Amino acid sequence: MGREFGSVGVVGLGTMGAGIVEVFARSGVAVTAVEISDVALHRGEVTMRGSLDRAVAKGKLSADDRDALLGRVTFAVGLDALREVDLVIEAVPEHLDLKQRIFAELDRVCKPEAILATNTSSLSVTEISVATTRPNQVIGMHFFNPAPIMKLVEVVRTVVTSQDVVTDIEALCERLGKVDVTITDRAGFIANALLFGYLNQAVSMVEAKYATREDIDAAMKLGCGLPMGPLALMDLIGLDTAYEILDTMYRRGGRDRRHAPVPLIKQMVTAGLLGRKSGRGFYTYEKPGSPVVVADEATPERQAGGEGAKHIAKVGVVGSGTMATGIIEVFAKAGFEVVSVTRGAEKSAQVCERLKTSLNKGVVRGKLTEQDRDAAIGRVTWSATLDHLSDVDLVVEAVVEELSVKKALFASLDEICKPGVVLATTTSSLPVIECAVATERPADVVGLHFFNPAPVMGLVEVVRTIRTSDATVKTATEVCRALAKHAVVCADRSGFVVNALLFPYLNDAVKMVEASYSTADDIDYAMKLGCGYPMGPFELLDVVGLDVSLAIQRELYLELREPGFAPAPLLEHLVTAGYLGRKVGRGFRDYSKR
Ligand SMILES: NC(=O)c1ccc[n+]([C@@H]2O[C@H](COP(=O)([O-])OP(=O)(O)OC[C@H]3O[C@@H](n4cnc5c(N)ncnc54)[C@H](O)[C@@H]3O)[C@@H](O)[C@H]2O)c1
């Protein structure tokens, strides 16, 4: 028979503690919530009540259930209130000395059989445990933010944690409706080890003014389907907590520069910009603790009517692949006249066929009327010669991802197109400036990075080189608006925003499996259930293709020379072995038998 856990204690009622109290109380467990002072206790209680009231307002909790839930919680100052509890979960700030002091005190106060758990994100559970006389009853229970919503708990066992303690805590997680992954004591465990390098890199993009906070967040939400962008997530986590986690991970995790907190984070913490909890972080909130973002001086002004943008009516699309076909569809559906240029009549016929198939699907699904489909097809003219681009207002190049081919194409476009035309490349990895300088009009050249499938994905990265004019960028963003796509503007650096932030994370996940710290299945679970990602990294790698992923990661590594970006040897080996992902039936997983 496992332990019952009739009553638990939670120490620290901050961002995490308040949520953890709610999780237990919702499951019918009596909770004693402890803070350091009356002021902090009151603040924690207000946070918790606020969260419950929001759940009631949204219809997710009845008022009676809220009252019953609150009836199970006792609020107290000081650890003495925890004498009788069966389990304590500590959720105080991420400082080793503080946590060690609290554990030593808990060891004195709590009954001998009580289990002591820490919610630390990055500190050594082992180091915390040795502050007690019962290290075999100390364990990590790492909840995710917001605790009542995120399903994952990382259960962290040290080398001395008893097996029956691990088993009992695993059973408890199940009772709480959580999914646990049990792992050993390593900095950042699974999810944070994969998350915080990405968050830190996103902050470095803001610091370098590479792109705005809104654009970085929109790029990751729309480009990867994440529930929130990295900067909004930093605000939710709390910048002080994020700083401590990064700092610990840097020191404990092999001094990977990617975990060295970006200086901007420290500056913001010093200035009291801690995120949602203080009412201001990367964004400004209605009031401390509120999730509602309000406009501030950095909020972009809504541009009326695309001032300064050139008028675009006729668009040339060069190429005959997946991207070119999707882009033709997007423009034609949005009412633009489109000239498609391929390398021959046969290719044009194929593209036309694929376009019709895709539009027909839209009709079948009720997303498009037959008249709209016919009108879209009627707006496209088919050609095998670039000369037909002499009167277009915008050219979108989507040919093979080879620099020599793209440069030759841009040189030809320079000769053929009328002056003032915007020349865009859809490259996802090559420098846009290389295409620009192949012409005599680099100010008119811009990157328009659509995502696959173009008709579905709502994001376009507008890449401005150091030579791109303001008018060209404005025109490109206005065109995106007309296509009902969200444009994010970024500088001309390998990976732009999305791939630069996404692929190192995927590569890190591969390195984690390679190091035998965890399995592909558990890592996929951790990212989906702990961070709300739509797919785990291995599912995504298999969909994107391991060869494509490796090529992008190599480009990032070559351009930025960041040692941590070096492609994982396991990824290289799988590509060499021909395990390229779903497209060949085998990647990290075997699809042939499914
Ligand atoms: N913020 C996140 O997203 C997140 C997610 C998972 C885990 N964690 C971990 O949870 C822990 C808490 O982080 P947080 O973000 O909730 O911090 P926080 O700063 O929001 O809250 C910490 C709380 O602990 C209280 N406290 C400080 N000293 C205390 C003491 N001696 N006795 C009782 N209470 C005390 C503070 O008053 C404060 O309310 C950290 O270990 C952190 O790494 C955080």
- Residue pair 550/567 in contact by the 8 Å Cβ criterion: yes
Read off the amino acid at residue 40.
A
Q: Which residue is closest in CA terms to ligand 1's atom 37?
A: 40
Residues forming a β-bridge with 182: 155
pTM of the model: 0.91
Nearest to 565 by CA among 510, 489, 528: 510
Structure confidence at residue 594 (pLDDT): 67
The sign of the torsion formed by the CA atoms of 327, 329, 331, 334 equals negative
Q: Which residue is closest in CA terms to ligand 1's atom 29?
A: 36
For ligand 1, whether the C-beta of 14 sits within 6 Å is yes
Structure confidence at residue 108 (pLDDT): 98
d(CA 485, CA 223): 11
Residues catalogued as catalytic? 121, 142, 154, 192
b/e map 4-41, b = 16+ CB within 10 Å: ebebbbbbbbbbbbbbbbbbbbbbebbbbbbbeeeeeb
For ligand 1, whether the C-beta of 148 sits within 6 Å is no
- Residue pair 304/466 in contact by the 8 Å Cβ criterion: no
CA of 199 to the centre of ligand 1 (A): 19
How do beta strands 115-118 and 138-143 pair? parallel
For 312, residues 6+ apart whose C-beta sits below 8 A from its C-beta are 336, 393, 394, 422, 475, 478, 479, 482
b/e map 463-498, b = 16+ CB within 10 Å: bbbebbbeebbbbbbbbbeebebbbbbbbbbbbbbb
d(CA 62, CA 65): 5
Q: Which residue is closest in CA terms to ligand 1's atom 3?
A: 237
Question: To 10 degrees, what angle do helices 63-71 and 15-26 make?
Answer: 100
Question: To 10 degrees, what angle do helices 38-57 and 63-71 make?
Answer: 150
How do beta strands 284-285 and 293-294 pair? antiparallel
CA of 328 to the centre of ligand 1 (A): 52
Nearest to 78 by CA among 123, 30, 12, 137: 12
For ligand 1, whether the C-beta of 465 sits within 6 Å is no
Q: What is the pLDDT along the chain (594 residues), one digit of tens a residue?
A: 688 899 999 999 999 999 999 999 999 999 999 999 999 999 999 989 998 999 999 999 999 999 999 999 999 999 999 999 999 999 999 999 999 999 999 999 999 999 999 999 999 999 999 999 999 999 999 999 999 999 999 999 999 999 999 999 999 999 999 999 999 999 889 999 999 999 999 999 999 999 999 999 999 999 999 999 999 999 999 999 999 999 999 998 788 999 999 999 999 999 999 999 999 999 999 999 889 999 999 998 765 557 789 999 999 999 999 999 999 999 999 999 999 999 999 999 999 999 999 999 999 999 999 999 999 999 999 999 999 999 999 999 999 989 999 999 999 999 999 999 999 999 988 999 999 999 999 999 999 999 989 999 999 999 999 999 999 999 999 999 999 999 999 999 999 999 999 999 999 999 999 999 999 999 999 999 999 999 999 999 999 899 989 999 999 999 999 999 999 999 999 999 999 999 899 999 999 876
Question: What tokens appear for 283 in the block?
Answer: 């964004």
A 10 A CB-CB count for 582 gives 16
For 466, residues 6+ apart whose C-beta sits below 8 A from its C-beta are 433, 492
Q: 228 by DSSP, 3-state: which?
A: coil
Residues forming a β-bridge with 447: 425, 463
Q: Measured from the CA of 92, which atom of ligand 1 is nearest?
A: 24
For ligand 1, whether the C-beta of 94 sits within 6 Å is yes
- Residue pair 445/424 in contact by the 8 Å Cβ criterion: yes
Q: What is the 8-class DSSP label of residue 112?
A: T
For ligand 1, whether the C-beta of 325 sits within 6 Å is no
Question: To 10 degrees, what angle do helices 38-57 and 15-26 make?
Answer: 60
For 212, residues 6+ apart whose C-beta sits below 8 A from its C-beta are 206, 298, 300, 489
d(CA 124, CA 22): 26
Q: What is the 8-class DSSP label of residue 564?
A: G
For ligand 1, whether the C-beta of 12 sits within 6 Å is yes
Whether the bond into 291 is cis, omega within 30 of 0: no
Structure confidence at residue 289 (pLDDT): 87
Question: What tokens appear for 88 in the block?
Answer: 């304590």
What region, left, alpha or beta, does residue 189 occupy, with left being phi > 0 and alpha being psi -120 to 50 degrees? left
Whether the bond into 563 is cis, omega within 30 of 0: no
Q: 30 by DSSP, 3-state: which?
A: strand
> Phi then psi for 506, rounded to 5 degrees?
-65, -40
For 281, residues 6+ apart whose C-beta sits below 8 A from its C-beta are 234, 235, 238, 239, 268, 273, 274, 275
Task: Give start and end residues of each alpha helix (H) in 365-497.
Answer: 370-378, 403-416, 432-436, 470-482
d(CA 319, CA 349): 13
Question: What tokens appear for 451 in the block?
Answer: 């995502």
Structure confidence at residue 1 (pLDDT): 65
Radius of gyration of the chain (CA): 27
Q: Which residue is closest in CA terms to ligand 1's atom 8?
A: 121
For ligand 1, whether the C-beta of 241 sits within 6 Å is yes
H or E segment and range at residue 127? helix 125-129
Q: 490 by DSSP, 3-state: which?
A: strand
- Residue pair 172/200 in contact by the 8 Å Cβ criterion: no
CA of 11 to the centre of ligand 1 (A): 8
d(CA 400, CA 398): 7
For ligand 1, whether the C-beta of 34 sits within 6 Å is yes
CA of 529 to the centre of ligand 1 (A): 21
For the sheet containing 394-397, what is the strand order? 380-383, 337-341, 314-318, 394-397, 422-425, 445-450, 459-464, 486-491
Look at the block and give the residue holding tokens 């180091």: 127
Q: Which residue is closest in CA terms to ligand 1's atom 2?
A: 237
Nearest to 197 by CA among 270, 125, 262: 262
d(CA 594, CA 589): 10
Question: What tokens appear for 337 in the block?
Answer: 């006249």
CA of 248 to the centre of ligand 1 (A): 15
Terminal Cα distance for the chain, rounded = 38
CA of 79 to the centre of ligand 1 (A): 15
d(CA 558, CA 258): 16
